[in-house]
Amino acid sequence: MVTRQLPRIAELRELMQFKKPELDLAKRRLDSALTIADLRRIAKRRTPRAAFDYTDGAAEGELSLARARQAFEDIEFHPDILRPAADVDTSVEVLGGPSALPFGIAPTGFTRLMQTEGEIAGASAAGAAGIPFTLSTLGTTSIENVRAANPHGRNWFQLYVMRDREISYGLARRAADAIERRRSFVVVPWQMRVVAAVMRALPNAVYDRLAARRPRKPRVSDSAHPGA
């Protein structure tokens, strides 16, 4: 006959660890997110639809977005078992300069529509990680403030070539001034022949306001204004 053995409290004490209650609701939500997909679900639940659809959506039928995601999912890691990995180096050279990782932060328009710190947070994070940060012409922070947030990092500027060339020339001069002071900006010229529509965002009234900045006579965002 098997005798049932009751556990001892002293033996269970090491296994029973109670977490301190987290009163900050935002931190509690973020702590529960284990993947990017979890973060997206939280954002979809908490973010106004107009801002979420503009951020999460892509051009037209979103075919390029679907292909990019599939290409990322198709990447496989093949681990080498029982081999030393003490000197792993993920750094690469990009456009003649170093990057701690083989990627950087791409240009995003209207960034503070999604997060209050916007490009300041992105540039600071990029500097801490040792990767390039790219400011969009349609960004919500000025060239000067991005340089101040990431003074020793690699900051790039996505320059839209506009019909009013003086606007583009002025932005290029300010980026050049940033290069002279900190050698921290690279200007990447960018021209769109046709502006694609973010179909998912079209039903939202905010898209009409955003689209109004992009047509034949574009209005330049805060990146064009030193005080932004």
pLDDT tens track for 82-113: 888 788 889 999 888 899 999 999 998 888 98
In the chain, the percentage of residues whose pLDDT exceeds 90 is 28
Q: Is the separation of the CB atoms in 146 and 121 below 8 Å?
A: no
Among 40, 64, 51, CA closest to 201: 51
Distance CA 139, CA 221 (A): 6
Beta-bridge partner residues of 187: 157
Is residue 144 situated within a structural domain?
yes
- Residue 100: CB atoms within 10 A of its CB come to 15
Is residue 7 situated within a structural domain?
no
CATH of the domain at 142: 3.20.20.70
Going by pLDDT thresholds of 50, 70 and 90, the confidence category of residue 219 is: very low
Is residue 114 situated within a structural domain?
yes
Is residue 158 situated within a structural domain?
yes
Is residue 141 situated within a structural domain?
yes
Is residue 24 situated within a structural domain?
no
Host domain of residue 129: 49-59+98-228
Q: How many domains does the chain have?
A: 1
Is residue 130 situated within a structural domain?
yes
Q: Rounded mean pLDDT of 188-201?
A: 68
Residue-wise pLDDT for 14-39, tens only, equals: 777 777 888 888 888 888 899 999 99
Beta-bridge partner residues of 133: 105, 155
Is residue 123 situated within a structural domain?
yes
